[in-house]
Amino acid sequence: MKLLIAIVNNEDSAVVASALTKEKFTVTKLSTTGGFLMVGNTTFLIGTDDNRVDLAKSIIQKHCMTRKHTVNTSESLGRGFDDGALASEVTVGGAMVFVLGVEESEKY
Ligand code: 2BA
């Protein structure tokens, strides 16, 4: 069994959750915050059999878009007030997906 941790843009999260559950994945959706931009994103926890990992990844990839984000002064806290980083543009996602091995999974 594997645990996927998928960090996606808030704007894609509803369609990703819907597409995953439609394919019978069980997901937990967490409200999270990126440490660089300090803006909200969504983290999915997806526990699944090894042979379904590629399907989950392809669903996430299909529904997550890359976006440009202009960084402004009020979002500088996460970068330690680094003046050089202000008013710059970064490319955010698609999605960031980590795949972890699960030693044990039990439901009570
Ligand atoms: P944030 O940390 O808010 O990062 C937003 C975007 O800012 C990143 O997009 C990247 O383009 C840029 N960025 C992040 N850290 C940077 C740095 N130290 N220097 C310069 N630019 C930087 P993505 O790479 O698509 O990441 C989107 C979100 O996914 C991140 O939001 C974070 O919440 C998460 N994430 C990405 N990689 C991660 C990792 N290795 N570990 C944990 N979380 C990660």
State the distance from the centre of ligand 1 to the C-alpha of 106, rounded, in angstroms: 32
For the chain, report the end-to-end CA distance as a whole number of angstroms.
Answer: 18
82 band by pLDDT with thresholds 50, 70 and 90: low
Report d(CA 15, CA 106) in Å as an integer.
28
Give the residues surrounding ligand 1 with Cβ less than 6 Å away: 7, 34-37, 41, 90-93, 96
Judge whether 14 and 22 are in contact, CB under 8 Å: no
The number of the ligand 1 atom at minimal distance from the alpha carbon of 94 is 25
Q: From start to end of the chain, where are the E strands?
A: 2-9, 27-33, 40-48, 67-70, 89-92, 95-101
Per-residue model confidence (pLDDT) at position 104 = 97
Judge whether 32 and 43 are in contact, CB under 8 Å: yes
Region 3-24 average pLDDT: 98
Report d(CA 47, CA 44) in Å as an integer.
10
CA-to-CA separations, 30 to 45, 62, 75, 81, in angstroms, rounded: 8, 20, 21, 27
Per-residue model confidence (pLDDT) at position 80 = 53
* Percent of the chain residues past pLDDT 90, beyond the cut: 77
Q: Centre a 10 Å sphere on the Cβ of residue 28 and count the other Cβ atoms it contains.
A: 10
pLDDT over 70 at 53, yes or no: yes
Per-residue model confidence (pLDDT) at position 71 = 78
Region 48-73 average pLDDT: 93
Per-residue model confidence (pLDDT) at position 31 = 98
Region 56-81 average pLDDT: 80
pLDDT over 90 at 87, yes or no: no
